[in-house]
Structure 1
Amino acid sequence: MFQIERPYQPAGDQPDAIKELTKGLNEGEKFQTLLGVTGSGKTFTMANIIQEVQRPTLVLTHNKTLVAQLYGEFKQFFPDNAVEYFVSYYDYYQPEAYMPTSDTYIEKDLAINEELEKLRLRTTTNLLSGRRDILVVASVSCIYGMGNPTEYENGIIRINTGDKIPRNSFLHAMVNSLYSRSQGEFSRGTFRVKGDTVDINLPYVDYGYRVTFFGDEIEEIESFEIETGKRIGKMHNAAIFPANMYMAPKHQMSEIIHEIQDEMNAQVDYFKSVGKHIEAQRIKERVNYDMEMI
Structure 2
Amino acid sequence: MTTAKIAVTGSSGAVGGRVARLLAARLGSGDPPLRLLVRDASRAPSLTSPAGPAEVAVAPYDDGDAARRALAGVDVLFMVSGAEAPDRVDQHRTFLDAAADAGVRHVVYTSFLGAAPDAVFTLARDHHATEQHLAAARARTGMAWTALRDGLYADFLPAMVGDDGVLRGPAGEGRVAAVAQDDVADAAVAVLMPAARGPLDGTGEHAGRAYDLTGPEALTLHEVAETVARVTGRPARYQPETLEEAFASRAAYGAPDWQVAAWVSTYTAIAAGQLDTVSSAVEELTGHPARSLEQVLRRS
Q: TM-score, normalised by structure 2?
A: 0.27
Higher radius of gyration, 1 or 2: 1
Bigger relative contact order (CA 8 A; separation at least 6): 2
Higher strand share: 1
Q: TM-score, normalised by structure 1?
A: 0.27
